[in-house]
Amino acid sequence: MNILQTFDLKKTYRRTHALDGVNITIQKGDIYGFIGKNGAGKTTLIRLITGVAEPTSGSFSLFGERTPLANIRARKRIAAVVESPALHMNLSAYENLKLQCILLGIAQPHQKVIEEVLTKVDLLSLLVEKKKKAKNFSLGMRQRLGIAMALISNPEFLILDEPNNGLDPEGIRDMRELLLRLNKEDGLTILVSSHILSELAKLATRYGFIDKGKVLRELSASELNRESRQATVLSLSKPLLSEAGLKEAGLKDYELSGSTLKIFGTQSTNKYLAVLAQADIEVMNITKEADDLETFFMSMIGGK
């Protein structure tokens, strides 16, 4: 089922074509990485979908419904964190969430809902530190609290605009684990924008590349793996003398050089482990290798 589909969506500000005929599709269960440089049009698309701005022309469907009125109805099933999360810095996590419950008209008691969302974003400890104000949280905690605020309404589609902005590597990892968990355990469909492809690479199942308001390409994670030459490199205990077994087992895109076997893309381990075992070869070490994803990104958008 398509959660979001856009039809030739355009948004023009005076002479700037922020979106210039965008067609993308996000399916149920996707973690859709929306990739583009600063100013490419990512936030503009998110603003249109969330109803903060109106398209100049074109339209979009949400949960399969395309009319503007249906879009409004469907927005109840969506939550978004656009730019920085709308937190009250002088309030604690609990108070921020309670306020959100009241604003959204969530039925009492709120405590249970709040505990649930704090657990989901791994911030339950903040219920103990009840007085700690949001302004004293780390940026990563603030971002996660922002997501907890979005989760209060129990959305099916979560939209995040540059959630990694300003985060350190640990914060980026926490965010990645959180989004993967929400997708897997709660079946949440997620749209996440970024200008850094490698940050989304361990997360997204599909990608849309946008530049100057135009979507250049949509591709799946496995297509990205293939095209950016993601490889698994195996160090073998001794050289594999014949490739015949690998070919017979259906291994396709690979390079064998003495005791190093490089397998491109994602291929089943069944296609080579048995062959190696039969030749009495052990795998001593496994590493992942890739062409620099940012190089791939820049070549995609025609930059240097």
Binding stretches for ligand ATP (CB under 6 A): 13, 16, 18, 36, 38-44, 162, 195
List of E strands, the chain: 2-13, 16-22, 25-27, 31-35, 57-62, 78-81, 157-161, 189-194, 206-211, 214-220, 231-236, 254-257, 260-264, 283-289
Which C-beta is closer to ligand ATP: that of 85 or that of 265? Answer: 85
- Taking the complex as a whole, the smallest distance from the CB of residue 191 to ligand ATP amounts, in Å, to 13
Which C-beta is closer to ligand ATP: that of 39 or that of 245? Answer: 39
Which C-beta is closer to ligand ATP: that of 70 or that of 196? Answer: 196
- Taking the complex as a whole, the smallest distance from the CB of residue 15 to ligand ATP amounts, in Å, to 9
Distance CA 203, CA 176 (A): 6
Kindly state the tokens that stand for 210.
């946008």
Which C-beta is closer to ligand ATP: that of 40 or that of 197? Answer: 40
Question: From its phi and psi, is residue 29 left (phi > 0), alpha (psi between -120 and 50) or beta?
Answer: left
- Taking the complex as a whole, the smallest distance from the CB of residue 197 to ligand ATP amounts, in Å, to 14
- Taking the complex as a whole, the smallest distance from the CB of residue 17 to ligand ATP amounts, in Å, to 8
Distance CA 288, CA 280 (A): 23
Which C-beta is closer to ligand ATP: that of 104 or that of 196? Answer: 196
Cis before 239 (ω within 30): no
- Taking the complex as a whole, the smallest distance from the CB of residue 267 to ligand ATP amounts, in Å, to 35
